[in-house]
Amino acid sequence: MKKLAEVLRDWEAVIGLEVHTELTTLETKMFCNCRLSHDDPPNTNVCPVCLGMPGALPVPNEKAIESIVMAGLATNCEIMRHSMFYRKHYFYPDMAKNFQTTQGPVAFCMHGHLDLEVSGAGAKERPDATVEKDADGGYVAPIRILRIHMEEDAAKMVHVGGEEGRITAATESLIDYNRCGTPLIELVTEPDLRTPEEARLFMEKLRQTFLTLGISDCSLESGSMRCDGNISLRRRGTTEFGTKTEMKNINSFKSLHDALEYEICRQAEVLEEGGIVYQETRHWEPSRRRTVVMRVKETADDYRLFPDPDLAPFDLTDEFIDRCRARIPELPDAKRDRYVADYGLKRADAAQLAGDPKVAAFFEEALEGVGEKNVPTLANVMVNLAPSYDALTVGQVRGVAGLLAEDALTFAQAREVLDAINGTDEDAVAYVDARGMRQSTDEGALGAIVDEVLGRCTDQVQQYRDGNKKVLGFLVGQCMKAAKGSGNPKAFNKMLAERLEG
Ligand SMILES: [Zn+2]
């Protein structure tokens, strides 16, 4: 198969996503008072409503409606004042009442958008001129959101025994209704995504937004956030849509990118050989790095959708919507811009800190008392060092940042210190001082070492003056050795260069 970059020169990929997010931070289910917890023993959080007993009546969870309205406002959607719940009928044991309660043509949230900033290697995937590129080749891709609707999750089924991967007469199917009735929001994008990287960034941005809103734990791994992708190809310069395939079983950002990349290349090969792309559902196999057919769609599914007679239509008031708006915290984009404006951080660093609300809260706590000029170093530690550790305290990160900022530690030493104090309550500065790791930047003491090394390494000095600037690294090494590791390499570098150039 051809490589993605080559394929995308001739073909335009048209990608749309459907993202399901469980509202895991709520206490109760969508239409009953059962506790929302997937960790409890199977079938312990159930009642006549979520088990679909005849005559049981659903009552909507107001907090879930608040959550979806917040999600809609945060993604620039129009909040529909009037909407209702529908029944989507199907027969499968994961939904005991034989229909899923969902929304019809009008959802709570309609017609929004998220703007993606695409930069770096990912920006090269989009070779066309439909986006305006900046000097570094990055661009902004506005992605329209068709709708976000409310629905309920189905029960979890586990199939045991029989042939691997197939359900046979020997298979036993186990079912846990604890998940049944979990409030779920489904976001559907317009087919505006053009590259696997854009799809990955969209999911990441959506996850950051929902995490910041606090409406879900957004775990792709555990399935509280799930994503299906629709994809088709068309020749560059044409506008008609090709036949699309649907991809299921995507449970990480990397899988999403890789599955789309594979599918784009696969479809291009089929089309270039004169074949036909069938409308089918495909399944991504990460271990074999390919998609395989799950089922071929010949007709549209007929769910006999109709308004649920047990649930009255909703009329959302302005007061309710205003209350939801007031609960929206500072969103990642605004936070990123504030970090850049207030602390002079690099945009990419600021975006990384602002994206995850836990990281942002940690950063803002660590800022206290760190001193304005040291903030970029603190951000550097948080972006490049801290993510490797799971149990650092705010004080420890602040301490290491302070030592780095005053050149008392090298980056490699900072890593060594973090390795040692991660998961303990040891103070970073005390740790460094107790081991004599603190590096001197004292000009007098270091200057004597520099002069000694220059006096001894006359060959290298001559090579440097003859134009071999690389030899500076050797000289810095000699100084470090002479200082027994207690001299700052940056300071040596600067002083050596000054003396050699002077
Ligand atoms: Zn229940």
Tens-digit pLDDT profile for residues 54-79: 999 999 999 999 999 999 999 999 99
pTM score of the predicted model = 0.85
What beta strand segments (E) does 190-313 contain? 225-235, 245-250, 280-285, 290-296, 306-307
Positive or negative, the CA dihedral 143, 144, 146, 151 is: positive
Write the pLDDT tens digit of every residue in 104-150: 999 999 999 999 999 888 888 888 777 888 888 889 999 999 999 99
For 253, the enclosing helix (H) or strand (E) is helix 253-272
35 CA distance to ligand 1 middle (Å): 8
99 C-alpha to ligand 1 centroid (Å)? 15
Q: Which residues of 104-140 are buried (b: 16+ CB within 10 A; e: fewer)?
A: bebbbbbebebebbbbeebbebbeeeeeeeeeeeebe
CA of 303 to the centre of ligand 1 (A): 24
Average pLDDT for 383-397 = 84
| pLDDT for the residue numbered 368 | 86
Which residues have C-beta under 5 Å from ligand 1, the single-atom ion? 32, 34, 47, 49-50
Q: What value does the mean pLDDT take over residues 350-359? A: 92
Report the pLDDT value the prediction gives residue 35, as an integer from 0 to 100: 95
> What is the distance in A from the centroid of ligand 1 to the CA of 419?
47
Residue spans per domain, the chain: 4-323, 332-434, 443-501
Report the range of poorest mean pLDDT among 159-168, 280-289, 382-391.
Answer: 159-168
Residue 94 tokens read as 């994961």
Report which listed range, 324-333, 388-397, 427-436, 437-446, is most confident: 324-333
Confidence at residue 292, expressed as pLDDT on a 0 to 100 scale: 83
DSSP codes, 367-392: HTTS-GGGHHHHHHIIIIIGGG-S--
The Cα 502–Cα 498 span in angstroms is 6
pLDDT of residue 409: 83
pLDDT band at 299 (very low <50, low <70, confident <90, very high): low
Please give the pLDDT value at position 237.
87
CA distance 349 to 369: 20
Sign of CA dihedral 382, 384, 386, 390: positive
pLDDT digits (tens, 9 = 90+) for 209-235: 999 999 999 999 888 999 999 999 999
pLDDT at position 126: 86
The pLDDT value given to residue 137: 84
CA 93 to ligand 1 centroid distance, Å? 16
Q: Among 1-10, 13-22, 184-193, 433-442, where is mean pLDDT lowest?
A: 433-442
Q: Are 437 and 417 in contact (CB under 8 A)?
A: yes
Calculate the average pLDDT of the chain. 90
Secondary-structure class of domain 443-501 per CATH: mainly alpha
* Residue 261 buriedness (CB in 10 A; 0-12 / 13-18 / 19+): buried
Q: What is the pLDDT of residue 490?
A: 82
What CA–CA distances, in Å, run from 440 to 69, 234, 403?
56, 63, 11
Q: Specify the pairing of strand 11-22 against strand 306-307.
A: unpaired
